[in-house]
C-alpha cells in the first residue's frame, strides 16, 4: 500500500471546485438509505403520506441527535458549538456522531408515526437501509482521515494515517463499513421472518451494530470517559440494555397473553 493511500480528503475537482470526500459519501449514504426506504415502502405498500413525514422527522432527529450527543461523547468543552442552534446549519462543522444520529432518528420517527396515527411500526423498513447508508458514509470518514482513522497497529492491513507517516493505524471506518455491508445482507434475509416484524428488525439491527461498534471503539481515537471506555461504548451498553429490556418485557407480555 502506498504511503498516502488512506488519505484522500479531496475526492475530485469539477472546473477547479474541490469536492470533499467526507460529505460526498455522507450525502451519498443518506441518498442510498432513502432510496432503499422508498423501495421497501413500496414493497410493503406504505403510502407516501406516512413514509414522507416519518422519514423527514427521522432525518431531522438524526441531525439534531448527532450534534447533541457530542456533548456527552466529547465533553463540555464542545458546548459552545453544540449548544449553538445556528451552528447546526454551518456546513463547515461536521454533523456529529452516528450513534446520536441513530437515537435521534428513532425518537423523531417514533414521534412522527404516533402523530400521524400510523398503525403498527414503520421502522423495520429503515433497518437494512440504515446499515447500507452507514456502509457508504463510512468510506468518506476513511478517505478524509477522520479522527486519525484508528489506533496504531502492526497488522498487515494497517494504513498510513497521513502522507509520510512512519507508522500504520487500524482502518477503523472500513471495519465499520464492512460490518454494515454484511449486516445489510443479514437484515435483508430477516426482513420477512415472522419473528422480526413490528419494530423488532430495527431493534435487532441497532443492537447488532451496537455490539460491533463497542469493539471497534477499542481501535478508534475517541476520548476515554470512565473505566477505560469511551462515551460511544457507554452509549452502546445503554442501547443494548434498552433493547434487552424491550425483549424481556415483550416475552413476558406474550407469555401472559398465552396463559390468558
Residues in 135-194 at the binding interface with another protein, rule: CB under 8 A: 144-149, 161, 191-194
Binding residues for another protein restricted to 195-214, rule: CB under 8 A = 195, 197-198, 200
User: If binding is defined by CB under 8 A, does position 47 make contact with another protein?
Assistant: yes
User: If binding is defined by CB under 8 A, does position 94 make contact with another protein?
Assistant: yes
Q: Measured between alpha carbons, how far is 136 from 180 in angstroms, rounded to an integer?
A: 9
Of 136, 146, 138, 124, nearest in space to 206 by CA = 124
In sequence order, which residues have a C-beta less than 8 Å from that of residue 135 and are 6 or more positions away?
29, 177, 178, 180, 181, 184
Cell of 86: 445556528
Query: Using the rule CB under 8 A, which residue among 5, 93, 237, 245 binds another protein?
Result: 93
User: If binding is defined by CB under 8 A, does position 245 make contact with another protein?
Assistant: no
Q: Which is nearer to another protein, 97 or 180 (CB)?
A: 97
Binding residues for another protein restricted to 57-86, rule: CB under 8 A = 57, 59-60, 63, 70, 73-74, 77-78, 80-81, 83-86
Binding residues for another protein restricted to 215-244, rule: CB under 8 A = 220-223
Query: Using the rule CB under 8 A, which residue among 4, 8, 50, 53 binds another protein?
Result: 53
Cell of 231: 462515551
Q: Measured between alpha carbons, how far is 51 from 259 in angstroms, rounded to an integer?
A: 37
In sequence order, which residues have a C-beta less than 8 Å from that of residue 214 and are 6 or more positions away?
233, 236, 237
- E-assigned strand segments in 122-165: 152-153
User: If binding is defined by CB under 8 A, does position 118 make contact with another protein?
Assistant: no
Amino acid at each position: 500500500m502506498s504511503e498516502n493511500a488512506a488519505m484522500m480528503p479531496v475526492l475530485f475537482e469539477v472546473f477547479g471546485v474541490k469536492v470533499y470526500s467526507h460529505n460526498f459519501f455522507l450525502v451519498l449514504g443518506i441518498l442510498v438509505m432513502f432510496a432503499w426506504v422508498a423501495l421497501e415502502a413500496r414493497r410493503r405498500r406504505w403510502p407516501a403520506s406516512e413514509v414522507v413525514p416519518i422519514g423527514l422527522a427521522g432525518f431531522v432527529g438524526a441531525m439534531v441527535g448527532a450534534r447533541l450527543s457530542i456533548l456527552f461523547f466529547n465533553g463540555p468543552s464542545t458546548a459552545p458549538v453544540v449548544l449553538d442552534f445556528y451552528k447546526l446549519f454551518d456546513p463547515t462543522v461536521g454533523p456529529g456522531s452516528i450513534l446520536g444520529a441513530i437515537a435521534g432518528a428513532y425518537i423523531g420517527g417514533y414521534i412522527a408515526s404516533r402523530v400521524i396515527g400510523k398503525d403498527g411500526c414503520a421502522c423495520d423498513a429503515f433497518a437494512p437501509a440504515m446499515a447500507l447508508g452507514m456502509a457508504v458514509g463510512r468510506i468518506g470518514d476513511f478517505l478524509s482521515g477522520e479522527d486519525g482513522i484508528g489506533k496504531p497497529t502492526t497488522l498487515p492491513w494497517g494504513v498510513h494515517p497521513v502522507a509520510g507517516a512512519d507508522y500504520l493505524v487500524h482502518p477503523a471506518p472500513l471495519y465499520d463499513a464492512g460490518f454494515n455491508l454484511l449486516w445489510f445482507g443479514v437484515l435483508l434475509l430477516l426482513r420477512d421472518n415472522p419473528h422480526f416484524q413490528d419494530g423488532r428488525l430495527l431493534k435487532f439491527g441497532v443492537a447488532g451494530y451496537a455490539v460491533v461498534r463497542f469493539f471497534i471503539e477499542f481501535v478508534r481515537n475517541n476520548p476515554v470517559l470512565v473505566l477505560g471506555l469511551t462515551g460511544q461504548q457507554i452509549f452502546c451498553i445503554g442501547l443494548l440494555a434498552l433493547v434487552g429490556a424491550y425483549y424481556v418485557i415483550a416475552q413476558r407480555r406474550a407469555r401472559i397473553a398465552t396463559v390468558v
